[in-house]
Amino acid sequence: MGKIFKFKELDFRFKRGINMKRVTAKAPVNIALIKYWGKRDNVNITPYNSSISITLDNLYTVTTIEESNEFSFYLNGKKQTKEESQRVLLFLQNFASIDEISKINVFSTNYVPTAAGLASSASGFAALAVAANEYFNTQLEFKRLAAVTRMGSGSACRSLLGGFVAWNKTGEVYEITSPIKDLVLISVMIEEKQKPISSRKAMEITVNTSPLFPFWTIITNRDFIDMKHAIVSGQYELIGELTEKSARLMHATMLAANPPILYMKDDSIVIWDLIQRLRSRGVYAYITMDAGPNVKILTKSSHQINILEELKNLGFNTSVVSRIGEGARIING
Protein backbone atom coordinates (compact mmCIF):
# COMPACT_ATOMS: atom_id res chain seq x y z
CA MET A 1 0.00 0.00 0.00
CA GLY A 2 1.47 3.33 -1.13
CA LYS A 3 1.24 5.82 1.69
CA ILE A 4 1.95 3.99 4.90
CA PHE A 5 4.71 5.89 6.65
CA LYS A 6 7.51 4.07 8.39
CA PHE A 7 8.36 4.70 12.04
CA LYS A 8 11.84 5.82 10.96
CA GLU A 9 10.33 8.94 9.46
CA LEU A 10 9.32 10.15 12.91
CA ASP A 11 12.94 10.37 14.01
CA PHE A 12 13.78 13.64 12.24
CA ARG A 13 11.91 15.69 14.78
CA PHE A 14 13.65 14.33 17.83
CA LYS A 15 17.10 15.52 16.76
CA ARG A 16 16.49 18.97 18.20
CA GLY A 17 16.61 19.91 21.92
CA ILE A 18 16.40 16.83 24.14
CA ASN A 19 15.15 18.83 27.15
CA MET A 20 12.15 20.32 25.37
CA LYS A 21 8.70 19.71 26.75
CA ARG A 22 7.08 17.13 24.49
CA VAL A 23 3.98 14.92 24.53
CA THR A 24 3.11 12.17 22.04
CA ALA A 25 -0.30 10.55 21.62
CA LYS A 26 -1.50 7.74 19.41
CA ALA A 27 -5.10 7.34 18.23
CA PRO A 28 -6.64 4.60 16.10
CA VAL A 29 -8.77 4.74 12.99
CA ASN A 30 -12.36 3.66 13.59
CA ILE A 31 -14.77 2.28 11.02
CA ALA A 32 -18.47 2.83 11.57
CA LEU A 33 -20.71 -0.21 11.48
CA ILE A 34 -23.73 2.03 12.04
CA LYS A 35 -22.79 5.20 10.15
CA TYR A 36 -22.97 8.81 11.31
CA TRP A 37 -24.32 10.97 8.48
CA GLY A 38 -25.85 14.37 9.11
CA LYS A 39 -25.41 17.15 11.65
CA ARG A 40 -28.24 18.69 13.61
CA ASP A 41 -25.89 21.40 14.86
CA ASN A 42 -22.90 22.43 12.76
CA VAL A 43 -21.08 24.22 15.58
CA ASN A 44 -21.18 21.61 18.34
CA ILE A 45 -21.33 18.77 15.78
CA THR A 46 -24.42 17.15 17.21
CA PRO A 47 -25.52 14.27 14.95
CA TYR A 48 -29.04 13.44 13.83
CA ASN A 49 -28.32 9.79 14.45
CA SER A 50 -26.39 7.60 16.86
CA SER A 51 -23.51 5.57 15.43
CA ILE A 52 -21.33 2.58 16.34
CA SER A 53 -17.79 1.83 15.23
CA ILE A 54 -15.02 -0.68 15.67
CA THR A 55 -11.57 0.54 16.54
CA LEU A 56 -8.77 -0.81 14.35
CA ASP A 57 -5.49 -2.08 15.77
CA ASN A 58 -3.02 -1.23 12.97
CA LEU A 59 -4.15 2.02 11.33
CA TYR A 60 -3.60 5.13 13.41
CA THR A 61 -2.19 8.62 13.82
CA VAL A 62 0.74 9.57 16.04
CA THR A 63 0.85 13.22 17.13
CA THR A 64 3.58 15.01 19.03
CA ILE A 65 3.29 18.46 20.57
CA GLU A 66 6.63 20.03 21.26
CA GLU A 67 7.82 23.30 22.77
CA SER A 68 8.93 25.86 20.18
CA ASN A 69 9.16 29.63 19.66
CA GLU A 70 6.45 29.75 17.01
CA PHE A 71 3.41 27.73 15.97
CA SER A 72 3.85 25.25 13.13
CA PHE A 73 1.88 22.21 12.08
CA TYR A 74 3.57 19.33 10.23
CA LEU A 75 1.46 16.65 8.56
CA ASN A 76 3.27 13.48 7.49
CA GLY A 77 6.60 15.32 7.81
CA LYS A 78 5.54 18.32 5.69
CA LYS A 79 5.16 21.79 7.17
CA GLN A 80 1.64 23.03 6.46
CA THR A 81 0.77 26.54 5.27
CA LYS A 82 -1.12 29.00 7.50
CA GLU A 83 -4.36 28.14 5.70
CA GLU A 84 -3.78 24.39 6.04
CA SER A 85 -2.98 24.80 9.75
CA GLN A 86 -6.06 26.91 10.51
CA ARG A 87 -8.34 24.00 11.49
CA VAL A 88 -5.72 22.68 13.92
CA LEU A 89 -5.06 26.14 15.35
CA LEU A 90 -8.77 26.72 15.99
CA PHE A 91 -9.17 23.27 17.50
CA LEU A 92 -6.28 23.80 19.93
CA GLN A 93 -8.04 26.85 21.35
CA ASN A 94 -10.29 24.40 23.19
CA PHE A 95 -7.25 23.48 25.26
CA ALA A 96 -5.06 26.58 25.61
CA SER A 97 -4.77 30.31 24.96
CA ILE A 98 -3.45 31.69 21.65
CA ASP A 99 -0.33 32.77 23.52
CA GLU A 100 0.37 29.19 24.69
CA ILE A 101 -0.45 27.73 21.26
CA SER A 102 1.99 30.11 19.58
CA LYS A 103 4.80 28.32 21.44
CA ILE A 104 4.34 24.79 20.06
CA ASN A 105 5.03 22.65 17.03
CA VAL A 106 2.55 19.92 16.20
CA PHE A 107 3.79 16.87 14.26
CA SER A 108 1.08 14.55 13.03
CA THR A 109 1.77 11.35 11.10
CA ASN A 110 -0.95 9.19 9.65
CA TYR A 111 -0.18 5.50 9.38
CA VAL A 112 -3.08 5.28 6.95
CA PRO A 113 -3.69 6.60 3.42
CA THR A 114 -4.88 10.20 3.92
CA ALA A 115 -8.32 11.04 2.53
CA ALA A 116 -8.81 7.61 0.98
CA GLY A 117 -11.99 6.86 2.92
CA LEU A 118 -10.16 5.40 5.91
CA ALA A 119 -11.05 8.24 8.26
CA SER A 120 -7.60 9.64 9.03
CA SER A 121 -9.24 12.88 10.21
CA ALA A 122 -10.88 10.88 13.00
CA SER A 123 -7.63 9.40 14.29
CA GLY A 124 -5.91 12.76 13.65
CA PHE A 125 -8.24 14.83 15.82
CA ALA A 126 -8.44 12.16 18.52
CA ALA A 127 -4.63 12.06 18.77
CA LEU A 128 -4.43 15.85 18.77
CA ALA A 129 -7.08 16.15 21.48
CA VAL A 130 -5.40 13.61 23.77
CA ALA A 131 -1.95 15.15 23.19
CA ALA A 132 -3.18 18.73 23.78
CA ASN A 133 -5.13 17.77 26.90
CA GLU A 134 -1.91 16.36 28.36
CA TYR A 135 0.58 18.94 27.02
CA PHE A 136 -1.38 21.98 28.23
CA ASN A 137 -2.54 20.14 31.35
CA THR A 138 -6.11 21.13 30.46
CA GLN A 139 -7.49 18.10 32.31
CA LEU A 140 -10.78 17.91 30.44
CA GLU A 141 -12.73 14.96 31.82
CA PHE A 142 -13.77 12.31 29.28
CA LYS A 143 -17.25 13.65 28.54
CA ARG A 144 -15.92 17.13 27.79
CA LEU A 145 -12.92 15.74 25.89
CA ALA A 146 -15.29 13.76 23.63
CA ALA A 147 -17.45 16.85 23.03
CA VAL A 148 -14.39 18.90 22.09
CA THR A 149 -12.88 16.12 19.95
CA ARG A 150 -15.99 15.85 17.79
CA MET A 151 -15.71 19.56 16.95
CA GLY A 152 -12.48 18.67 15.11
CA SER A 153 -14.20 15.85 13.25
CA GLY A 154 -17.45 14.23 14.32
CA SER A 155 -16.32 10.62 14.10
CA ALA A 156 -13.06 11.46 15.95
CA CYS A 157 -14.84 11.11 19.30
CA ARG A 158 -15.23 7.37 18.57
CA SER A 159 -11.43 7.04 18.14
CA LEU A 160 -10.91 7.97 21.79
CA LEU A 161 -12.03 4.51 22.87
CA GLY A 162 -11.31 0.91 21.90
CA GLY A 163 -13.32 -2.12 20.82
CA PHE A 164 -16.93 -1.38 19.84
CA VAL A 165 -17.71 2.29 20.44
CA ALA A 166 -21.10 4.00 20.53
CA TRP A 167 -21.60 7.71 19.90
CA ASN A 168 -25.13 8.45 20.99
CA LYS A 169 -26.99 11.30 19.33
CA THR A 170 -27.28 12.83 22.80
CA GLY A 171 -23.49 13.18 22.80
CA GLU A 172 -22.49 10.29 25.04
CA VAL A 173 -19.49 8.21 23.84
CA TYR A 174 -18.87 4.78 25.40
CA GLU A 175 -17.49 1.30 24.79
CA ILE A 176 -19.93 -1.55 24.27
CA THR A 177 -18.84 -4.69 26.08
CA SER A 178 -18.90 -7.74 23.85
CA PRO A 179 -17.89 -11.40 23.84
CA ILE A 180 -16.83 -10.90 20.20
CA LYS A 181 -13.07 -11.08 19.68
CA ASP A 182 -12.74 -12.61 16.24
CA LEU A 183 -13.92 -9.86 13.89
CA VAL A 184 -11.46 -8.84 11.20
CA LEU A 185 -11.80 -5.88 8.86
CA ILE A 186 -10.22 -6.02 5.41
CA SER A 187 -9.79 -2.56 3.84
CA VAL A 188 -9.44 -2.79 0.08
CA MET A 189 -7.75 0.18 -1.58
CA ILE A 190 -9.39 1.23 -4.78
CA GLU A 191 -8.05 4.72 -5.19
CA GLU A 192 -5.70 6.78 -3.10
CA LYS A 193 -6.69 10.11 -4.61
CA GLN A 194 -8.12 12.92 -2.50
CA LYS A 195 -11.87 12.62 -2.34
CA PRO A 196 -13.83 14.86 -4.73
CA ILE A 197 -16.09 16.23 -2.00
CA SER A 198 -15.40 16.41 1.72
CA SER A 199 -17.68 14.41 3.98
CA ARG A 200 -18.51 17.63 5.83
CA LYS A 201 -19.88 19.24 2.64
CA ALA A 202 -21.51 16.00 1.47
CA MET A 203 -23.34 15.64 4.78
CA GLU A 204 -24.66 19.17 4.54
CA ILE A 205 -25.97 18.62 0.99
CA THR A 206 -27.58 15.33 2.07
CA VAL A 207 -29.32 16.88 5.09
CA ASN A 208 -30.59 19.82 3.05
CA THR A 209 -31.67 18.09 -0.15
CA SER A 210 -32.09 14.31 0.14
CA PRO A 211 -35.77 13.29 0.35
CA LEU A 212 -34.56 10.05 1.97
CA PHE A 213 -32.84 11.82 4.86
CA PRO A 214 -35.80 11.60 7.32
CA PHE A 215 -36.00 7.82 6.68
CA TRP A 216 -32.24 7.53 7.18
CA THR A 217 -32.42 9.03 10.66
CA ILE A 218 -35.47 7.04 11.80
CA ILE A 219 -34.16 3.70 10.53
CA THR A 220 -30.59 4.27 11.69
CA ASN A 221 -31.60 5.22 15.22
CA ARG A 222 -33.56 1.95 15.39
CA ASP A 223 -30.70 -0.07 13.91
CA PHE A 224 -28.33 1.49 16.45
CA ILE A 225 -30.34 -0.15 19.25
CA ASP A 226 -30.45 -3.50 17.43
CA MET A 227 -26.71 -3.33 16.75
CA LYS A 228 -25.98 -2.67 20.41
CA HIS A 229 -27.93 -5.82 21.36
CA ALA A 230 -26.18 -7.82 18.64
CA ILE A 231 -22.76 -6.74 19.91
CA VAL A 232 -23.55 -7.36 23.57
CA SER A 233 -24.98 -10.81 22.84
CA GLY A 234 -22.29 -11.78 20.30
CA GLN A 235 -24.54 -12.26 17.25
CA TYR A 236 -22.08 -12.26 14.36
CA GLU A 237 -24.66 -12.61 11.58
CA LEU A 238 -26.83 -9.78 12.83
CA ILE A 239 -23.78 -7.51 13.24
CA GLY A 240 -22.83 -8.21 9.62
CA GLU A 241 -26.35 -7.69 8.29
CA LEU A 242 -26.86 -4.40 10.14
CA THR A 243 -23.41 -3.19 9.05
CA GLU A 244 -24.12 -3.75 5.39
CA LYS A 245 -27.62 -2.29 5.72
CA SER A 246 -26.23 0.92 7.23
CA ALA A 247 -23.72 1.38 4.38
CA ARG A 248 -26.38 0.68 1.73
CA LEU A 249 -28.83 3.09 3.30
CA MET A 250 -26.26 5.86 3.78
CA HIS A 251 -25.05 5.69 0.17
CA ALA A 252 -28.64 5.52 -1.15
CA THR A 253 -29.55 8.58 0.93
CA MET A 254 -26.55 10.47 -0.48
CA LEU A 255 -27.36 9.42 -4.02
CA ALA A 256 -30.86 10.88 -3.65
CA ALA A 257 -29.38 14.28 -2.72
CA ASN A 258 -29.20 17.15 -5.18
CA PRO A 259 -26.51 17.30 -6.53
CA PRO A 260 -26.15 13.53 -6.05
CA ILE A 261 -23.19 12.33 -4.01
CA LEU A 262 -21.57 9.20 -5.34
CA TYR A 263 -18.40 7.92 -3.68
CA MET A 264 -18.53 4.43 -5.20
CA LYS A 265 -16.50 3.46 -8.23
CA ASP A 266 -17.02 0.51 -10.58
CA ASP A 267 -14.48 -1.47 -8.54
CA SER A 268 -16.44 -0.85 -5.33
CA ILE A 269 -19.44 -2.52 -6.95
CA VAL A 270 -17.34 -5.42 -8.28
CA ILE A 271 -16.22 -6.14 -4.71
CA TRP A 272 -19.73 -5.74 -3.36
CA ASP A 273 -20.89 -8.35 -5.86
CA LEU A 274 -18.04 -10.70 -4.89
CA ILE A 275 -18.96 -10.45 -1.21
CA GLN A 276 -22.57 -11.36 -1.93
CA ARG A 277 -21.45 -14.41 -3.89
CA LEU A 278 -19.05 -15.47 -1.13
CA ARG A 279 -21.78 -15.11 1.46
CA SER A 280 -24.12 -17.35 -0.51
CA ARG A 281 -21.31 -19.97 -0.32
CA GLY A 282 -21.27 -19.74 3.48
CA VAL A 283 -18.38 -17.30 3.94
CA TYR A 284 -18.86 -14.76 6.75
CA ALA A 285 -18.35 -11.52 4.80
CA TYR A 286 -20.20 -8.19 4.87
CA ILE A 287 -19.16 -4.94 3.29
CA THR A 288 -19.18 -1.35 4.38
CA MET A 289 -18.08 1.86 2.66
CA ASP A 290 -17.48 5.39 3.88
CA ALA A 291 -16.98 8.73 2.17
CA GLY A 292 -14.69 7.29 -0.48
CA PRO A 293 -14.53 4.41 -2.98
CA ASN A 294 -12.59 1.97 -0.80
CA VAL A 295 -14.43 -1.06 0.45
CA LYS A 296 -14.11 -2.56 3.91
CA ILE A 297 -15.05 -6.18 4.46
CA LEU A 298 -16.12 -7.42 7.85
CA THR A 299 -15.16 -11.06 8.33
CA LYS A 300 -13.67 -13.60 10.77
CA SER A 301 -10.01 -14.58 10.87
CA SER A 302 -10.84 -18.09 9.64
CA HIS A 303 -12.38 -16.65 6.43
CA GLN A 304 -9.83 -13.96 5.76
CA ILE A 305 -7.44 -15.99 3.53
CA ASN A 306 -10.31 -17.15 1.35
CA ILE A 307 -11.51 -13.56 0.83
CA LEU A 308 -8.01 -12.20 0.16
CA GLU A 309 -7.49 -14.89 -2.50
CA GLU A 310 -10.78 -14.10 -4.19
CA LEU A 311 -9.87 -10.40 -4.17
CA LYS A 312 -6.50 -11.16 -5.76
CA ASN A 313 -8.19 -13.21 -8.47
CA LEU A 314 -10.12 -10.08 -9.39
CA GLY A 315 -6.94 -7.95 -9.39
CA PHE A 316 -7.32 -6.31 -5.97
CA ASN A 317 -3.89 -6.73 -4.42
CA THR A 318 -3.71 -3.86 -1.96
CA SER A 319 -5.60 -4.51 1.21
CA VAL A 320 -4.96 -4.05 4.89
CA VAL A 321 -6.22 -6.56 7.43
CA SER A 322 -7.09 -5.10 10.83
CA ARG A 323 -8.27 -6.55 14.09
CA ILE A 324 -10.16 -4.86 16.91
CA GLY A 325 -7.85 -2.41 18.71
CA GLU A 326 -7.45 -0.08 21.66
CA GLY A 327 -8.45 3.57 22.02
CA ALA A 328 -6.33 6.73 22.01
CA ARG A 329 -3.57 7.12 24.56
CA ILE A 330 -0.41 8.99 25.47
CA ILE A 331 2.63 7.01 24.40
CA ASN A 332 5.23 9.23 26.02
CA GLY A 333 5.25 12.50 27.91
Residues interacting with ligand 2P0, by CB under 6 A? 32, 35-37, 45, 51, 119, 121-122, 153-155, 199-200, 203, 290-291
Give whichever of 105 and 153 is closer to ligand 2P0, judged by the CB atom.
153
CB of 52 to ligand 2P0, least distance (A): 9
Give whichever of 36 and 73 is closer to ligand 2P0, judged by the CB atom.
36
Give whichever of 184 and 203 is closer to ligand 2P0, judged by the CB atom.
203
CB of 36 to ligand 2P0, least distance (A): 4
C-alpha to C-alpha distance for 324 and 54, rounded to whole angstroms: 7
At position 248, the amino acid (one-letter code) is R
CB of 163 to ligand 2P0, least distance (A): 16
Give whichever of 105 and 120 is closer to ligand 2P0, judged by the CB atom.
120
CB of 155 to ligand 2P0, least distance (A): 3
CB 264 within 8 A of CB 293: yes
104-111 and 72-75 strand pairing:
parallel
Selection from 32, 319, 324 nearest residue 186 by Cα:
319
CB of 42 to ligand 2P0, least distance (A): 9
Neighbours of 241 (CB within 10 A): 16
For CA atoms 276, 279, 283, 285, give the dihedral sign: positive
Query: Which letter does DSSP use for residue 17 in this model?
Result: -
297 DSSP β-pair partners: 186, 287
CB of 38 to ligand 2P0, least distance (A): 10
Give whichever of 37 and 136 is closer to ligand 2P0, judged by the CB atom.
37
CB 104 within 8 A of CB 64: no
Give whichever of 128 and 283 is closer to ligand 2P0, judged by the CB atom.
128
Give whichever of 32 and 275 is closer to ligand 2P0, judged by the CB atom.
32
Considering only CA atoms, give the Rg of the chain: 20
CB of 206 to ligand 2P0, least distance (A): 11
CB 332 within 8 A of CB 201: no
Selection from 294, 268, 304 nearest residue 119 by Cα:
294
At position 95, the amino acid (one-letter code) is F
CB of 112 to ligand 2P0, least distance (A): 13
**Residue 27, C-beta contacts closer than 8 angstroms, at least 6 positions apart:** 60, 61, 63, 123, 124, 126, 127, 130, 156, 159, 160, 327, 328, 329
Neighbours of 318 (CB within 10 A): 14
Give whichever of 133 and 243 is closer to ligand 2P0, judged by the CB atom.
243
Position of minimal CB gap to ligand 2P0:
154
CB 65 within 8 A of CB 74: no
